[in-house]
Amino acid sequence: MGDLRKSYDYGLWAETVAALWLCLKGYKILRRRYKTPVGEIDIIARRKNHLAIVEVKARAAVGDALEAVRPQGRRRIEKAARYFLAAHPLYVDFSLSFDVVAVSGAISVLHLDNAWFEGQ
């Protein structure tokens, strides 16, 4: 149980780091840990008329974090994004990106804007 709790806490810490990083880049955090019946989105952020759907991954190395975003996870996130947009029509005309923020080590952060495109 201790390792599971440790992983959960590390994930929460990584999401907080990612949210702060996005704020420094001019994004406003709209939601964190947005849960839907079809999946969860780690962070939904807005900058002007752009909406970023952000998956946060924390691993010992940035490359490992980036590789952890698998096709099945991307589909789940895309479905959750459609759910969010249906529930929040204000954002339907915004440009949309699916981003990844990789957090590693003490604090190493890499934000991949447009990490993938829907249906890819």
Domains of the chain: 2-116 (3.40.1350.10)
119 confidence band (pLDDT: 50, 70, 90): low
90 confidence band (pLDDT: 50, 70, 90): very high
**Longest CA–CA separation in the chain, Å:** 44
C-beta separation of 80 from 39 below 8 A: yes
Rounded CA-CA distance 31/85 in Å is: 13
C-beta separation of 105 from 58 below 8 A: no
Residue 57 to residues 41, 91, 106, 108, Cα–Cα distance (Å): 12, 25, 14, 12
Q: In the prediction, which pLDDT does 120 show?
A: 56
Q: What percent of the chain has pLDDT over 70?
A: 91
DSSP for residue 69: -
Rounded CA-CA distance 38/8 in Å is: 21
2 confidence band (pLDDT: 50, 70, 90): low
Residue type (1 letter), 7: S
- pTM (whole model) above 0.85: yes
